[in-house]
Amino acid sequence: MGNTSSMLTQYDIEEVEEHCNNTFSQQEIVSLYQRFCQLDRNSGGFISADEFLSVPEFAVNPLSQRLFRMVDGLNFKEFVAFLSAFSSRATLQHKVEFIFKVYDFDGNGKVAFSDLLDVLRDLTGQFISEQQRELVLTHVLEEAGYKKDSLLVLSDFMKILGNTGLKMEVEVPVD
């Protein structure tokens, strides 16, 4: 334990910095590396689903299952790229893209009614009936000018979320 940045060379840090489009500073990347090593218990070079689940605050999150798929088996460079959407330096476009990816489960660039329903189910669990969920979704979709069988693409998401003042930031602890 107690991994220091001596495992990560300056060259590595710069490569990661470039890969995430400078959304994290070098100091933050070093901190993230320490965190990555802490989570990667068996030092396999990537964090498995099991290791993510061992963080209780993550495991109790309603969207953890969806995020798993995006985060399973990431190496450090990809881990930083994944988290870059949560940096204060990330653009709004980047953040909306991230949200879109969470919805677009099969990665085909289109979000259908069923995808919206799935996420709403994750967020509300047993506390709203399935029928009610469909009603609520249909209602707000129609109000926004879409139909139940509309397929939403990234530009739709940008339009809907673009001017909401999205707050999606996480602070990387730097000792």
Partner 1 sequence: MYGQQSKKEVRFLLPQEGEKKMSKLSTSSSELDLDRPNIEDYLPTDSIHQPHTKLRLRDLLDISPTLTEAAGAIVDDSFTRCFKSNPPEPWNWNIYLFPLWCLGVVVRYGILFPGRVLILTIGWIIFLSCYIPVHVLLKGHDKLRKRLERALVELICSFFVASWTGVVKYHGPRPCARPKQVFVANHTSMIDFIVLEQMTAFAVIMQKHPGWVGLLQSTILESVGCIWFNRSESKDREIVARKLREHVEGTDNNPLLIFPEGTCVNNNYTVMFKKGAFELGATVCPIAIKQSFTTHLLQLMTSWAVVCDVWYLEPQNMKPGETAIEFAERVRSIISVRAGLKMVPWDGYLKYSRPSPKHRERKQQSFAESVLRRLEEK
Identity of the residue, 12 or 58, whose beta carbon is nearer to partner 1 in the bound complex:
58
Q: Which ranges constitute the DSSP H helices of the chain?
A: 10-19, 26-39, 49-53, 56-59, 64-71, 76-83, 92-103, 113-124, 130-143, 154-161
Identity of the residue, 11 or 132, whose beta carbon is nearer to partner 1 in the bound complex:
132
Helix or strand or coil: residue 82?
A: helix
User: Minimum distance from CB of 59 to partner 1 (Å)?
Assistant: 5
Residues that bind partner 1 (CB under 8 A): 1-2, 4, 32, 35, 38-39, 52-64, 67, 71, 83, 85-86, 95, 98-99, 102-103, 116, 119-120, 123-129, 131-132, 135-137, 139-141, 143-144, 146, 157, 160-161, 164, 166-173
Tokens of 37: 């090593």
User: Minimum distance from CB of 113 to partner 1 (Å)?
Assistant: 12
Identity of the residue, 6 or 11, whose beta carbon is nearer to partner 1 in the bound complex:
6
Tokens of 139: 């209602």
Tokens of 24: 């994290």
User: Minimum distance from CB of 39 to partner 1 (Å)?
Assistant: 7
Residues 6+ away with beta carbon under 8 Å from 150: 113, 141
Identity of the residue, 137 or 151, whose beta carbon is nearer to partner 1 in the bound complex:
137
